Amino acid sequence: MKKIDRSSINISLSVSIILLLLSSCISRRHISKLRKPAVSISDTIKDFKNYNQPDFIKMEDLLRTSQERAQKSAFIKNIKENIYLIVDQKVAFTVILNGNEITIERGKKTGITPTLLIPFSPTIAQNLANVLEDLKLDQEEIFYVSYIVFIPCLNRMYSMPYLFETSMYKGRLDNYLQFLIKNPDGYTYHGQNVEISGTVVNVDGMFIIMPGLVGDPDIRLELTLDQAIELYKYVVYDAVKDQSKMEKMKLFKKYSNLVKECTIYERSWH
């Protein structure tokens, strides 16, 4: 009898589960297979050089303040990210979150692969320090942070390496998805009404992420802040854990139900 490679089956199962989750359904239309970009966006971004500018010094001081406050809090305990903070389309800082430990360096840190590219400015730096002042995050503050990091997080989700392991490709990802964060309490950003949303389009096998709800998608998901955090946690962290088949299936069922619950629109001929 031929020996079964159970490790290969386990890996294939993981990929199948996450592809199903991201698509929420198997599409009946033709969909381009995925192809990994030849060059990472982060590789094309240059280092920030104007370290003596007053604005940069202010941002750095505020970032160090936020670092001290965040390390005293509990909400970054399980977060592991390598972040490039982008100022004027250049990498001003590298921030490494590793549990409750945070390290900050100017420019690009060698030897690491960034997982998030987040826009940064003196205003964002000041607001971040203000948000962390009491070492807690309420829902309004989470909304503010989400408005800044939502598109970077979508980019992270749709660039996970296992999506491009075509030898184990078992599912089909929709070409055209939209995500919208619910805001029933009417939270604002600097007094302005804003929408946290994004559109994901598969163009010739590569995902393009755009802010806002653009066009008529295959499906649209509408999530609470907590649901969005849970979905990100699953796609980025839980789906790549070394787990048994039973554990993976339990997770899949939980998050598959979440996606179904959050799907508010599906194009009629999809």
Residue with tokens 């899949």, as numbered in its chain: 252
Q: What is the mean pLDDT of the chain?
A: 85
Buried b (16+ CB within 10 A) or exposed e, 163-187: beeeeebebbbbbbbbbbbebeeeb
Would you state the structure tokens that stand for residue 161, as one six-digit string?
Answer: 């390496």
CB 183 within 8 A of CB 196: yes
What confidence tier does 209 reach under pLDDT thresholds 50, 70, 90? very high
What confidence tier does 270 reach under pLDDT thresholds 50, 70, 90? low
Task: Quickly list DSSP for 128-158.
Answer: HHHHTTTS---HHHHHHHHHHHHHHHHHHHT
Q: Give Cα 153 distance to the centre of its chain.
A: 2
What confidence tier does 25 reach under pLDDT thresholds 50, 70, 90? very low
Best mean pLDDT range from 20-34, 37-51, 137-151:
137-151
pTM: 0.84
Q: Give Cα 58 distance to the centre of its chain.
A: 27
